[in-house]
Amino acid sequence: MVQLPHPNPEHLFHTPTILGLAVAKDESRIAVATNFSGRYDVWGIDLDCPFPYRLTSEGQVPHAVHFDPQGRYVLVAFDRDGDENAQLYLVPPRGGEKQPLRTHDGRRFMFCATSEDGNRVYYSSDKDHPTYLCGYVYDLESGEEKMLYEGEEGPTFLVAVSDDESSFVTATAFANTYQIAHLHRRGERVSLTPDPGTPHVVDAIEFAGDLVVFATDYQADERYLASFDPQTGSFQRIFAPDQGSVTHVAVHEESETAYATVMRGVIDELYRVHLRTGAAEKLGAPCDVIGQIEVGPSGRLYLLGASDNEPANVWMLDLDGSWRALTRVRPIGFSPDDLVEAEVVRFPSFDGLSLEALLFRPKPEVANGYTIVWPHGGPQAAERKGFRKLFQYWLLFGYQVFAPNFRGSTGYGSTFMKLVERDWGEGPRKDMVASIEWLLAQGLADRDKLFLVGGSYGGYMTLLLHGRHADYFRACVDIFGPSNLVTFAQSVPDFWKPIMKQWLGDPDDPADRERLVKDSPITYLDGMTKPMLVIQGANDPRVVKAESDQIVQALRERGRDVEYIVFEDEGHGFMKLENEMEAYRRTVAFLERNRRESAP
C-alpha cells in the first residue's frame, strides 16, 4: 500500500479564520469576515446552498459587516494594512466594487446600525473629536450627515439605536472596568444604571421594544443581564448566573427573549432568558468559546464559536432546538483528535490568590521536553479554550504550551480584573513567576527547558520577565510588546488616552512616572542576557513601532543577541497569511536553534 505523508504543521496556517458574521433580514444568507483566500475579505453564504462566495476583494480586515434591510447593499468597514482606521463603504448585494460612504484619512468610523428602511447609517467617529469622539447619522438619500452628540467626559461610542430612531444609547469609557451608558431620548440623557458615578461596566446593549437590555456589574462582581424601562425610569436585574459574567446579548423582541453568553473562566455557556420573568434555560453550545451571537427575525440564533482543537465556525440554532453548522472550517490534514485539547489547572499565586491556566501537552510521539510559557495579551483579556493555530503549530513540533491567566484577566470577576490596573509590572509579573514555579514543582516542566513567548501585553511581560528573571528561560520572543511604559502611554491612539490614567498611570504625574519607569522593561536592559527575537508590525496603532525599535537598539548597543523582524504591511497582529507564516516559521526556527544549542 502506498504510504501517504504525514500532515505538514504549516498546513495549519491555511486554516481560515472567521472574525465575525452578519445575518440578512430575510435570513436567506449570512456574510462572514474571513481569510478564506489567505487575505481577509467579506464572503457570502446562501443558506439553501451553503458554498461561500466572495463579496469583496480588498484583502483587508473588515471591521464591520451589515446587510441593508431592503437588500440593496452590504455595508462594510475596511482599514488599511492594520492601521485600524476603518472606513465605511457600500458594495452591491452580490458583491463587487466598493462605494465610499464615510471616509477620512487618518481617522476611523465605528459602525453602529442602520435605520429599519436602510436609508440612514448610524456611527461614531474620531474625525471631529479625536479624543472623545462624536456620534452621527448619515442620510443615504440626501447625502447629509447630522451630529447626534459630542463626547465630553471620556471616549463616547454610539452603541444602539431604537427601531423607530427616537432613541439611541451611548457608552462612555473611563477604564475597561468603568464604562457607563446613557439613553438619549426626546432631548434628554439618562443613565441606564442608578449611580453612574460608581465605577461599573454597562455593555452588550440592545433595544427590546420598550426596554433597553444590557449586561452590567453594577453593585456586583460579575456581569448580569439587566434592563432599563424608559417609561418608568426603572432599572431591573433580569438574570444573574450562579457563576460567571454575561458577555454577549442578542434579543428577539417578538418572543421577549434574550440569548446571553456567560463567561466562566476559560469557557462560555449559553442561556435563553425570558425578559419579563427572568426565567433562564441553559442551552448546549456546539463549542467552548463563543465569539458572537445574532438573532434573526424568525427567532433563530446564529453563533460564531470555537474550541481549542476546532476552528471557529458559524452555527444556527433552529426553531426545533437543533444546531446546524453553516460553515465547515477544518485544518488541512488534521482531525480534532490529531490536535491537542487543553488541560485546565488551578493553583495559588505568591500571595494565595487562586489562578487558572491552560496546559497544552504535545502528543508523546513528538514531545521534545521543552515548554513555551505564554503570558497572554490584554492585559484585561484571558487565554481561553478557543482555537489557536500558533499553539497547535508549536505542539506539532513537540513543544508544551503553558498559558496562565494572571491577575487582571477577564472571566474571574471585576475585582480580579481590576488588580492589574495601575500595576502592570508587579502583581502580574509575580503571578507569572509563581505559575512557572508551580509548573516546575509539579514536575510538568524542566527548569532548564523553558522558552518565553508573548504578544502585545504578553510581549511586554516577556520583556519584563526577561529583564528581571532571565535565569528561567533559554530564549525569549516578544511580539509587538511595549518596552517603555512612559512612551507607550504617550503614543497610544488619542481616544485611548482618557482611560490610560486608570488603566496604566499618568506619565505627567511624578509618582506615577516613577512607577512606570520601575515597571518598564527598558529599565532592566542589563538583565536581558538571553537570545531574543522581536517581531513588530510597522502600522501598529496600539503599540507603535518605536516601542520595539528602542529596545532592539538598546540591546544591540550592548552586544546582545537580538533578531528583529518588521512587517511593513501589518498592524497589531497578522492579517496576511504570508506574514503570519513567515513570523511563526521564524519563531519556531529561533526556538529550535536555541534548543539545539542548549543540548548537552
- pLDDT tens-digit readout, 272-307: 999 999 999 999 999 999 999 999 999 999 999 999
pLDDT of 210: 85
- Give the predicted TM-score (pTM) of the model: 0.96
Residue 457 has which C-alpha cell?
501585553
pLDDT of 53: 96
Section 118-134 average pLDDT: 97
Section 111-138 average pLDDT: 97
Give the domains, in start order, of the chain with CATH numbers: 153-328 (2.120.10.30), 336-598 (3.40.50.1820)
Amino acid in position 345: V
DSSP secondary structure code for residue 39 in this structure: B
Q: Please state, in angstroms and as integers, the Cα–Cα distance from residue 235 to each residue in 215, 224, 231, following that order.
A: 12, 13, 11
Mean pLDDT of the chain: 96
420 vs 397: CA distance, rounded Å? 33
Section 346-354 average pLDDT: 98
500 vs 493: CA distance, rounded Å? 11
- pLDDT tens-digit readout, 481-496: 999 999 999 999 999 9
Section 501-523 average pLDDT: 96
Section 528-532 average pLDDT: 97
**DSSP letter string, 382-450:** ---SS--HHHHHHHHTT-EEEEEE-TT-TTS-HHHHHTTTT-SSSHHHHHHHHHHHHHHHTTSS-TTSE
The helix (run of H) or strand (run of E) holding residue 497 is helix 497-503
**Local confidence band at 7 (pLDDT 50, 70, 90 cut-offs):** confident
**Local confidence band at 599 (pLDDT 50, 70, 90 cut-offs):** low
In 508-544, which positions are buried (b, 16+ CB within 10 angstroms) versus exposed (e)? eeeebbebbeebbbbbbbebbbbbbbbbbbbbbbbbb
257, 201, 190, 200: which is closest to 230 by C-alpha?
A: 190
Q: What are phi and psi of 185, to 5 degrees?
A: -155, 125
- pLDDT tens-digit readout, 176-221: 999 999 999 998 999 999 999 999 999 999 999 889 999 999 999 9
- pLDDT tens-digit readout, 398-453: 999 999 999 999 999 999 999 999 999 999 999 999 999 999 999 999 999 999 99
